Amino acid sequence: MARILVISGDILPYPGFPTTGAGLRAWGLGKGLESQGHEVLLAMPRSAIEASKSVPDAIEPLLYTHQELPRFVAQHKPDVLVLQHWWLANYLEQLPKMPVVIDFHGPLLLETQFQANPSLEKLRYAKILALHKADFFTCAGEKQRYYFFPWLMLAGCDLRQDLIQAIPVSLSPELPEHQSQGEMSFVYGGIFLPWQDPALGLLTLVECLERQGRGVLKFFGGKHPGVAVPTGKFEELRAQLQQSSRVQIQPMIPRDQLIQEYCRAHVAIDIMQRNAERELAFTTRTVEYLWCGLPVIYNNYAELAAYIKDYHAGWTLDPQDRRGIHRTIEEMLDNPEEVAQRGRNAQRLVRERLTWDHTIAPLDAFCRNPYKREKGRPLLDTGNQSFTQRIEYVAKKLQFHLANEGLKATAERVWRKMFL
């Protein structure tokens, strides 16, 4: 078994702390490896909990700063280093001696584009240099896997080797007990992010609840606890929602408290407008809803939609179909037995497909036989070619690695939007 250091770029879900999708992703990878017998150390940035009044003694040795990351890694002497997101690799001044894994929780540069971040051009180059330092890669879904192929080629990876594997977002095999209480309640929870737009679904839900005179929406959310990220439409949306007597607005709360709230609710609403980022996302909050026994009102286009549809663990709808959303909500209010059955299906889906002991196999296999791959030259260094010419080269090569036409179209469309 290996000694593995997992570096999270965000706050981890320790009791009493809020968390984020990235933090839950790092936690799931670490706990999955731990379930297979590896010795795992889970680290997070000290800046993530600066506002906390007290830090548990057990966490203190596993807090790092970006500037000290090389020394921090050397101090813990791992056999394998797992970085939960690529940008952490650029704090490592040179190629580490141990094998390095980079996990892609999602398409970070697409998220950056939605923020209108002026650093986007610089980040494109930084990403390629970061990927060049790694030996193996994981991501959250098959759609993402195809999206990352051209990035790996730009970083000098030989895709004749099986260098990237999908590990779905996963949670503990110890599922919480779901016990819904009172009138039918719908929950929405999460950080306010500019690439997410749940407005039509939430406002349609509230309109339906008001018309029916029954049911409640419990809305949990707020700004990122540690990073200044634009909130997009959410401030305006929250102001609209809180005008309704059928809505309860609550701020970000510690994850353990949030799970208790979810387990007492009936349905989660998680339907968002389609865009390039949402199309690729394997959404953490959705898996968490399912884990808690909540059937989910979800998009019909994302990869996770197929899981929900196959298990009848919720309702997969067109996010622009206001009438369809309205009709589905009315059916739920009239048929609580069906809601309860889909909630049981939701936990069955997680138990069978989305617990970390089941999904960790690709990363576990690498950690049992870790290796340093032979590094090719990043394609950013190819002579006098323009950046666009190098991109066109990868575009042609990309077709040899995407057999499925639908996935090829998705990957090429998103990828070209990023670069051209």
Q: For residue 373, tell me if it sits in a domain.
A: yes
- Take residue 58 and report the two structure tokens written for it: 């057990």
Q: Smallest Cα–Cα separation from 148: which of 405, 402, 404, 379? A: 402
Q: Let me know whether 222 and 328 are in one domain.
A: yes
Per-residue pLDDT band at 21 (split at 50, 70, 90)? confident
- Average pLDDT score, the chain: 88
Q: Let me know whether 90 and 13 are in one domain.
A: yes
Q: DSSP assignment, residue 355?
A: B
Q: Let me know whether 300 and 346 are in one domain.
A: yes
Query: Tens digits of per-residue pLDDT, 79-128?
Result: 999 999 999 999 997 777 899 999 998 888 888 888 877 778 788 889 99
Note down the domain range covering 370: 3-171+359-419
Query: Tens digits of per-residue pLDDT, 166-212?
Result: 999 999 999 999 999 889 999 999 877 788 899 999 999 999 999 99
Lowest mean pLDDT of 19-23, 255-259, 334-338, name the range: 19-23
SS3 for 268-292 is EEECCCCCHHHHHCCCHHHHHHHHC
Q: For residue 179, tell me if it sits in a domain.
A: no
Going from the C-alpha of 151 to that of each of 13, 148, 157, 394, 406, the distances in angstroms are: 30, 5, 9, 9, 19
Write down the pTM of the prediction: 0.87
Q: Let me know whether 243 and 130 are in one domain.
A: no
Residue 264 belongs to a domain with what CATH number? 3.40.50.2000
Tabulate helix, strand, coil % of the chain (nearest 5): 45, 15, 35
Query: Tens digits of per-residue pLDDT, 197-210?
Result: 999 999 999 999 99
Domain ends where: 311, 331, 354? Answer: 354
Q: For residue 56, tell me if it sits in a domain.
A: yes
- pLDDT reported for residue 389: 53
What 404-412 contacts at long range (C-beta under 8 Å, 24+ apart), as own/partner pairs, is 407/142, 407/143, 407/146, 408/146, 410/143, 410/146, 410/147, 410/279, 410/280, 411/143, 411/146, 411/147, 411/149, 411/150
Domain ends where: 336, 354, 372? Answer: 354
Identity of the amino acid at 322: R
- pLDDT reported for residue 383: 47
- pLDDT reported for residue 98: 94
Q: For residue 394, tell me if it sits in a domain.
A: yes
